[in-house]
Structure 1
């Protein structure tokens, strides 16, 4: 149960004329799961006599996973204004259309909001007023966007220092011939896929880097137990054979992995303990990885170690597309979500068709959203060089006929509904 009131948020910008770049307000909320920021640019791009103001929608977990307009935000009416700090008179005020916020367009506002000659020289008050704000009850808790509390910097450093260090590693990944070193305890803590890889009889199919005569004994000694912190995971450590484990992984593919469900403080303590007590390894598991670039695999491991990710350009091994694919394989839902949000934000009329026909059709989490975007903007998309290249080379796209048929069917169905 909740009740609604009007609300406003104001921020005083001191010496705003000395700003050389855009600035953002602290986040604020109009409900337990609806967060915003104001963005101010002292000099408008292309119109230096104006300042720019935007409202930024901070996406929730659910909003970040769709290309559609965020309908719950469309119910708000927002007035953005600039006031004189002494008289409190409004210098400029405008009403914002909140119906078009989406992962592709998470901010709305004005490039030319107010002429700078109208503003005082030293400071201004930047504010926003909403027609409603939803108050929750004591038993309701805010649902913060993203991953909740960020990892402390010293914890990130502690994890990062352990990555790709042979002396602390008990697993070596041979990624297209390049060796990348990691620790199974950390990987199992962060990924269900790796939990199942290093537990039970699946480990018997893994190669070790010691002599053949020692392998049987070493496999027995290096059975890695499920961490005690993970007693609540839905796993069967007695699964028999790698085939059964692969089937089990497929059936759990859409479950949230433990890094997003565990308590932050417990994670901090357990990770500090792990990092401080990792023994120096003389023998390790060796696993061949042939389907990903070494940089893609290393960035995935970096996310597992630090909960942070750095995306590269569209053509690089660490592009959002490549990291989405590797997160999908290794059941790392948080990384997959980060990559999906990045992909949707980069979607536009020129690249949407190519992305759908080459990649998105393979993944349920992407296909429907990108398909809807192409259909809704088909009158423009069909004229782009990317779409024309697809129709000129259909053999390059294995699902060309199915996808083009579905697009045209939906486009004409939408046209019929207008009459």
Structure 2
């Protein structure tokens, strides 16, 4: 390997090229939407956004849909006066609690005062049920238009140094998890023997720390028998303890949540909770509510109840 002279100083010019997307977000909050809709006539337009720029956008609501009287059209329109450009837009309808009940993605070539949208975006008949808590409707949009290519030239001095190697801690601990090097405790689960390291279990879990730091049978015999956790669930928990990785959430999120609570792994429990709520649907809501009660988890219970109430 050639030697690097750490005292060598030189100068260089560096050109950097980057692509910057022009992304804009906007929300139109309409209180008492049904009453508002009954009062207005003709197309209704939001304020232009973003403020203080020449190329702006606005939302337009058409109370008289071209299709029928049971729908309202919603469009995102540009004020740009020259040329064509490509834009991608996401439109959302939510209630005041943040529950998204409609989402679409749109993309196309936009001309001046042209726009993207649907004639039948809002179903006036079914909408009151979606916003029944307080009658508030939120129309949100996120627009990504033509990317801008930026070229920059900078000058400066540099000192020729070796780059430090990236940390290998995670890889090294994963090697410990996957092998049996220097293990000092055995976990017996349904006839299976799983080897581990007391110091790592104790550092990550206060439950294991208490178990090994006192003169209990497990500490003396270096053997722990567990009857209420399945082997594959315990193995996934060990993977998290050693590597911070959770690979079994899609198959066993509820079981991983339970074992995380049992062994006081709060960060793992939080990640399981997030996954459970992210995948929440009518088939899993009741089971999630029971899980929240069993583990006295007010956050999980609150979200499950809120979902059930808004879905009825």
The residue number in structure 1 matching 2:104 is: 110
1:174–1:289 CA contact under 8 A, matched in 2 = yes
The residue number in structure 2 matching 1:356 is: 289
The residue number in structure 1 matching 2:30 is: none
The residue number in structure 1 matching 2:301 is: 367
C-alpha root-mean-square deviation of aligned residues, in Å?
4.1
Structure 1 residues 332 and 354: CA distance shift in structure 2, 3 A: closer
Q: May I ask how many residue pairs the two structures share in their alignment?
A: 191
Structure 1 residues 116 and 93: CA distance shift in structure 2, 3 A: closer
Structure 1 stretches of 5 or more lacking a match?
Answer: 1-8, 13-24, 30-78, 119-125, 129-151, 210-284, 379-419
Q: After the TM superposition, which residues 90-109 of structure 1 pair with which residues of structure 2 at under 5 Å, given as runs?
A: 90-92=85-87, 96-97=91-92
Aligned match of 1:344 in 270, 277, 288? 277
Q: After the TM superposition, which residues 271-286 of structure 1 pair with which residues of structure 2 at under 5 Å, given as runs?
A: 285-286=222-223
The residue number in structure 1 matching 2:144 is: 127
2:88–2:108 CA contact under 8 A, matched in 1 = no
Q: After the TM superposition, which residues 10-409 of structure 1 pair with which residues of structure 2 at under 5 Å, given as runs?
A: 10-11=20-21, 90-92=85-87, 96-97=91-92, 110-111=104-105, 113-115=106-108, 127=144, 154-163=168-177, 165-199=179-213, 202-206=214-218, 208-209=220-221, 285-314=222-251, 319-357=252-290, 359-363=291-295, 364=297, 365-378=299-312
1:80–1:127 CA contact under 8 A, matched in 2 = no
**TM-score of the aligned structures, taking structure 1 as reference length:** 0.39
- Give 1:361 deviation, angstroms: 2.5
- Give 1:176 deviation, angstroms: 1.7
SS of 1:168 mapped into structure 2: coil
**TM-score of the aligned structures, taking structure 2 as reference length:** 0.50
1:173–1:181 CA contact under 8 A, matched in 2 = yes
Provide the rounded CA distance (Å) in 1 between the counterparts of 2:179 and 2:207: 22
Larger C-alpha radius of gyration, 1 or 2? 2
- Give 1:196 deviation, angstroms: 1.7
Provide the rounded CA distance (Å) in 1 between the counterparts of 2:77 and 2:188: 55
The structure with the largest strand share of the pair is: 2
Structure 1 residues 351 and 205: CA distance shift in structure 2, 3 A: same
